[in-house]
Structures are given as structure tokens and as C-alpha cells.
Amino acid sequence: MPLSAAQILKIKSMNKLNIPLSLIITALMTILGWFVINWFDSCRDRNNKLRDLKTEYLIDAYVKIASGAGTNMYLNDPKYQEDFRSALINIQLFGSEKEIELIQNAINKKTINDSIYIIDLDPILFELRKSLRDELNITQTDKKIQWINFQKNN
């Protein structure tokens, strides 16, 4: 709705410093723009920090799980057990819906053989690898994860 002549005169009379109306509007738009840009920057920074934190924790979880996967030499090692628990917690905190589901399925499907829990970790590691490679913009691979076991000489 256009302003009437009386409204324009009223606005001009309020402008006792004789500052052009276009300059006032420009200044207000600039100030508003600073606030909007600052808000968007803070949102972007918060999202980047969250992404970095999530990636860091999931890489750590992947390494902790993979360090003992495919072998039974770490099962009685309290440090590996604690690392494994920590990895499960981090995945359930920062992981995707699918990663959390895989962890829960693996834990629920564990089998007991001579008091040893047997958990298939490959699906979890495959999914973690896939999501981390996506997050880090690394080309995907369908290659199977290979394990090597070292035996202690007594």
C-alpha cells in the first residue's frame, strides 16, 4: 500500500537532521543484515563442530572395535573390554539409526560358547566405514575388511 502525501510529510518532519529516507532504510537493512549473517554463521559453526565431533568419535569407535575384531586374543584384556564398551556407547550416541540398530542386533544375537560372547562385528564396521567415508568425502568401497592375527610365542 503506497504512502499518502500526508504520511510522507509526517515522516519527513520526524527527520529533523535532514537525513534522506533512503539512507535511513539502507542503514537499517545493513544492521539487520549483520544480525542475520551472524545468526547463519553461528548455526553453520555449530553444525560444523557437531559434524567434526561426531566424526572424531565414530573414527575412534571404529578403531577400538576393529583392533580386536577377527581375533580372540583381546577378549580377556580389560583395556580392550573398556575400549569396546566405550565404542558401543559412542556409536549409540553419535551413530546413525542403522549403526545403532546393527549394534543392538549384534548384542541381542550374541551366542555364548564356553562363557565367551561371540558377536559378528563386520556389519557394524562396514556401516561405520561407509558413513565415515561419506562424511569425509572419500570414495566408497565394497571391499571386505581383512584381518590379520598375530600369535604370541611363549
3 state SS of 113: strand
pLDDT for residue 16: 61
- Degrees to nearest 5, angle at CA 68 with 62 and 69: 75
3 state SS of 58: helix
Give mean pLDDT in consecutive 10-residue pieces for the chain, a chain of 154 residues: 69 64 86 94 93 92 81 69 88 90 81 62 87 88 74 58
Of the candidates 117, 110, 112, 35, the one whose C-alpha atom is nearest the C-alpha of residue 75 is 117
pLDDT for residue 11: 65
Of the candidates 80, 87, 81, the one whose C-alpha atom is nearest the C-alpha of residue 61 is 87
- Backbone dihedral region of 8: left (phi > 0), alpha (psi from -120 to 50 degrees) or beta? alpha
**Structural domain spans, the chain:** 50-135
pLDDT for residue 46: 93
pLDDT for residue 60: 93
Question: For the segment 33-77, what is each residue's pLDDT rounded down to a tens digit?
Answer: 999 999 999 999 999 999 999 999 999 999 888 887 766 655 677
3 state SS of 74: coil
pLDDT for residue 53: 92
At a CB cut-off of 8 Å and minimum separation 6, what does 106 contact? 119, 120, 121, 123, 124
Angle of the 21-66 helix axis to the 78-94 helix axis, nearest 10: 150
End-to-end Cα, the chain, rounded Å: 92
